[in-house]
Structure 1
Amino acid sequence: MKQTRRAVLRGLAGVTVAGPVVAAPFIARAEAMWPAKPVTIVVNFPAGGLTDGIARAFGQAVQQATGQQVIIDNRPGASGNIGAAQVARANGDGYTFLHTVSSTLVQNRAMFKNLGFDPDKDFVLVSGMSSGVLPVVVHKSVPVTNLKELVAYAKTNKVNFGSWALGSSAHILAQHLNEKFGLSMEIVTYKGEAPMWQDMGAGSLQAAMGSPQAMNALLVKGEIRPIAAPSRVRAGKLPDVPTTIEQGFTDDAFVVRGWLGLAAPAGTPKEVVKRMSDLWVAAADSEPGRRMMESFGLTEKPMPHEEVTADYETLKASLIPMIVALGIKPE
């Protein structure tokens, strides 16, 4: 009996040892076959803005390259937290991704008491691309042509300043203007750019900030007037608009830097992350990718997985203290 029992135990041990050996090639084959079914990219802002436009164009390129359908699922709300939380809870099997802005993963942690997810633990960054220059504009009824004139105007007139999300670069810039110059501009937060520009066209906002393409219809109609490019370089689509630095606004809050990020749930296989990163970077050179980047005035190519992961740490170190310093209370 003892020998029999030992034999049984040896047999069970053999099964235990053999399990991973057998499973490893199977897992490797499954990852090599990726994608074997449709891929969903959750966009945590409404259709019509920069985040959505790039996701759709790049998703089309990924679909063309892999032969598998790429589904764009818009889940706006709570400054991007609703869509991000949905992806954070998804299986890390390589078939669900999040396309978002850096503020969702960086600024929001200082803006909300409960995000519904952990930006650092629940995601792995796949790729990231500079969101480009996001001009500050005013409604045609506001008689100003530069940022200094807007400050002077806001001291004696009511100004509603549009922001596409709580804690966004637009929010930071407007809040810093309030703090630095003793203004009381009302910062109006939206679920994305599209509804913000609708209100701007209706005249309920006096100022706002966002992507050139998303505001283009209002620019063409003459409903809005660009007054500053909060960047170190001028906007390619609006080369005559001076930067904030050129206008003497040199504080870090007036020089916007951020990116559009593609992320996957934590636990997504490294091989899949690498493959999707390569596909996303290559999408910038595809026909739909080039057209969309040109329409939004974007010139910088996407960063691969390793690069955006390192830049994420840099962004956190610079932006989080900035929000804390502005005294914005978490909701």
Structure 2
Amino acid sequence: MRTFSLSCTPLLVAALTLTASLPLAAQTFPTRPIHIVAPFVPGGPVDIMARILSEKLSTSMGTTVIVENRPGAGGNVGAEYVARAAADGHTLLLASGSILTMNEAIYPTLNFSPSKDLAPITVVGDMPLIVAIHTDVPARTLKEFVSYAEKRETFFSSPGNGTTGHAATALLNTTANTKVTHVPYKGGSESARAVLTGMVTGAIDTPPSLLPHIRTGKVRALAVAGPNRLEQLPDVPTTAEAGMPDLQVLTWFALVAPAATPPQVIERINKEVRQALALDDVKKRFDGMGIRPAGNTPQEFASFAAAERNKWGRIIKQANIRIE
């Protein structure tokens, strides 16, 4: 009988070493501080959520978790930085849904592919947008506004070209066969102020931007563009209840890593983040921003992102939304 010593089979030794090291990588991870890149300026919802997670993950994972702001180009600067980072789980991106599902269609010269260069970990939170108008507009319901818009020029503001609010206005035009003109502003507060002062007819924007003005009675909410009514606006119907089920617009935020990050490391981070999102104080802090804590598996996140990418890709192409 022939026998073989391990010293004569280096390929076997290498294969066994590699196989054994994969679970070990997850067990020993992290080996140094983790950086969560927030691709927007400090003080916004992405930055605040990143800091909440950094606080919780620092404790649960036994290492320092640092929030690093890298704003620019609709989030593309920070996203590309993470896409090019070492794929070991120590550099993560807290991205908006627009970065992951819209920007590839909006920016023709994008230097990375969100769908190919970033690996899904989990959706962190989401919030539906609100369809709102200035109170001088004689419409009390979404259908009444559509009838109004069919007969007059109307203008909807957004936080800027290529933002979710911009794409949402395009979706409204496609869904309702209207011709609402998009007016870009520099940020959510300026966009909401334009509605408040009557500079524009209305907007489809986030609860943090619109709720303060809705509460004053100077801006009228027509519908919530999500699956459920908002707790803060219990009398405002969803777009489905208002007769426009296809007008669904969620702003969502998710944690991703460089594409080649080991699955075991992805699963570890997923577990830790989902546990953090289930904490009562985290839920309360998210709720203060109008954001629903989420948390799903990488596989569920990947399927959701693919569906969102297909949906918004069609809308963006039809509306010819481009940023050179």
1:109 paired residue number:
104
**Hey, what's the Cα distance between the residues in 2 that align with 1:230 and 1:275?**
33
Task: Confirm or deny that 1:44 pairs with 2:39.
Answer: yes
1:166 paired residue number:
162
Q: Any stretches of 5+ residues in structure 1 without a counterpart? A: 1-10
Task: Confirm or deny that 1:315 pairs with 2:308.
Answer: yes
> 2:153 touches 2:180 (CA, 8 Å); kept in 1?
no
> 1:80 touches 1:165 (CA, 8 Å); kept in 2?
no
**Hey, what's the Cα distance between the residues in 2 that align with 1:269 and 1:160?**
44
2:66 paired residue number:
71
Shift in Å at residue 71 of structure 1? Answer: 1.8
Letter in 2 for 1:242: P
TM-score, with structure 1 as normaliser: 0.80
Q: What SS class does the counterpart of residue 116 from structure 2 fall into? A: coil
Letter in 2 for 1:234: R
> 1:175 touches 1:187 (CA, 8 Å); kept in 2?
no
Moved more, 37-46 or 195-204: 195-204
1:187 paired residue number:
183
**Residues 22, 244 of structure 1: CA spacing in aligned structure 2 closer, same or farther, 3 A cutoff?**
closer
**Hey, what's the Cα distance between the residues in 2 that align with 1:73 and 1:197?**
28
Deviations 1:50-80 (A, max 9, x none): 3333322223221221232222222233222
**Residues 205, 265 of structure 1: CA spacing in aligned structure 2 closer, same or farther, 3 A cutoff?**
farther
**Residues 57, 146 of structure 1: CA spacing in aligned structure 2 closer, same or farther, 3 A cutoff?**
farther
**Residues 144, 45 of structure 1: CA spacing in aligned structure 2 closer, same or farther, 3 A cutoff?**
farther
Letter in 2 for 1:119: P
Deviations 1:242-276 (A, max 9, x none): 222222223x2x12246321100122122211110
Q: What SS class does the counterpart of residue 65 from structure 1 fall into? A: helix
> 2:142 touches 2:242 (CA, 8 Å); kept in 1?
yes
**Hey, what's the Cα distance between the residues in 2 that align with 1:165 and 1:41?**
26
1:290 paired residue number:
283
1:86 paired residue number:
81
Q: What SS class does the counterpart of residue 247 from structure 1 fall into? A: coil
**Residues 330, 297 of structure 1: CA spacing in aligned structure 2 closer, same or farther, 3 A cutoff?**
closer
**Hey, what's the Cα distance between the residues in 2 that align with 1:311 and 1:269?**
21
> 2:133 touches 2:220 (CA, 8 Å); kept in 1?
yes
**Hey, what's the Cα distance between the residues in 2 that align with 1:320 and 1:309?**
16
Q: What SS class does the counterpart of residue 120 from structure 1 fall into? A: helix
Q: What SS class does the counterpart of residue 113 from structure 1 fall into? A: coil
**Residues 63, 320 of structure 1: CA spacing in aligned structure 2 closer, same or farther, 3 A cutoff?**
same
Q: How many residues align?
A: 318
Q: Any stretches of 5+ residues in structure 2 without a counterpart? A: 1-5
Aligned counterpart for 1:278 among listed residues 265, 271, 276: 271
Q: What fraction of aligned residue pairs are identical, expressed as a percent?
A: 27
**Hey, what's the Cα distance between the residues in 1 that align with 2:156 and 2:204?**
12
> 1:127 touches 1:302 (CA, 8 Å); kept in 2?
yes
> 1:163 touches 1:209 (CA, 8 Å); kept in 2?
no
**Hey, what's the Cα distance between the residues in 2 that align with 1:289 and 1:300?**
8
Moved more, 121-130 or 207-216: 207-216
**Hey, what's the Cα distance between the residues in 2 that align with 1:78 and 1:102?**
15
Shift in Å at residue 316 of structure 1? Answer: 2.7
2:253 paired residue number:
260
**Hey, what's the Cα distance between the residues in 2 that align with 1:145 and 1:69?**
51
Shift in Å at residue 219 of structure 1? Answer: 4.2
1:96 paired residue number:
91
Aligned counterpart for 2:298 among listed residues 297, 300, 305: 305
Q: What SS class does the counterpart of residue 226 from structure 1 fall into? A: strand
> 1:111 touches 1:167 (CA, 8 Å); kept in 2?
no
> 1:46 touches 1:74 (CA, 8 Å); kept in 2?
yes
Moved more, 267-276 or 296-305: 296-305
**Hey, what's the Cα distance between the residues in 2 that align with 1:52 and 1:215?**
19
Over the aligned positions, Cα root-mean-square deviation in angstroms equals 3.3
**Hey, what's the Cα distance between the residues in 1 that align with 2:42 and 2:215?**
21
Aligned counterpart for 2:54 among listed residues 54, 59, 63: 59
Shift in Å at residue 287 of structure 1? Answer: 4.0
